[in-house]
Amino acid sequence: MKNFLTQYRNHLLLHFIILIWGFTGILGKLITLPSGPLVWYRMLIACAGIGVYLFVSGPKQIPKIKNMLLYILVGFVVAAHWITFFESIKVSTVSIALACLSSTTLFVAFLEPIFYKRKIVWHEVLLGLVVIIGLGLIFNFEPKYHLGIGLAILSAFLAAVFGTVNGILVRNDKSKIISFYEMLGGVIGITIYFLSSQKFEVFTTLPTFADLIYLLILGLICTAFAFVVSVEVLKYLSPFTVTISINMEPIYAIILALLFFGEEEKMTVGFYLGAGLILATIFTNAYLKAQKRKRNLILQNNLL
**Which helix or strand (DSSP H or E) is residue 37 part of?**
helix 35-57
Q: Residue 152: phi, psi to the nearest 5?
A: -65, -40
pTM of the model as a whole: 0.81
| Cα–Cα distance for residue pair 138/153, rounded to 1 Å | 12
| Cα–Cα distance for residue pair 292/288, rounded to 1 Å | 6
| Cα–Cα distance for residue pair 219/221, rounded to 1 Å | 6
Sign of CA dihedral 57, 226, 102, 30: negative
| Cα–Cα distance for residue pair 220/301, rounded to 1 Å | 44
Q: Please, where are the H alpha helices in 92-145?
A: 94-101, 104-116, 122-141
Q: Residue 174: phi, psi to the nearest 5?
A: -65, 145
The rounded radius of gyration (Å) of the Cα atoms in the chain is 20
Please say whether the beta carbons of 22 and 151 come within 8 A: no
State residue 264's pLDDT score: 67
Please say whether the beta carbons of 281 and 130 come within 8 A: yes
Residue 19's nearest CA partner among 289, 257, 178, 264 is 257
Over its length of 304 residues, how does the chain's per-residue pLDDT go in tens digits? Answer: 556 677 677 778 888 888 898 888 889 889 999 888 899 999 999 999 999 888 887 777 788 899 999 999 999 999 999 999 999 998 888 878 877 887 777 787 778 788 777 777 777 777 777 777 777 777 776 677 889 889 998 998 998 888 888 878 877 788 788 889 999 999 999 999 888 877 766 677 778 899 999 999 999 999 888 877 776 776 676 555 665 566 677 778 777 887 887 766 666 777 778 777 777 776 777 677 667 767 766 766 665 5
Please say whether the beta carbons of 14 and 233 come within 8 A: yes
State residue 286's pLDDT score: 66
Domain count, the chain: 1
Parent domain of 230: 2-303
State residue 75's pLDDT score: 93
Please say whether the beta carbons of 41 and 207 come within 8 A: yes
State residue 300's pLDDT score: 66
Calculated CA dihedral for residues 34, 37, 41, 47, nearest 10 degrees: 120
State residue 239's pLDDT score: 52
Please say whether the beta carbons of 222 and 111 come within 8 A: no
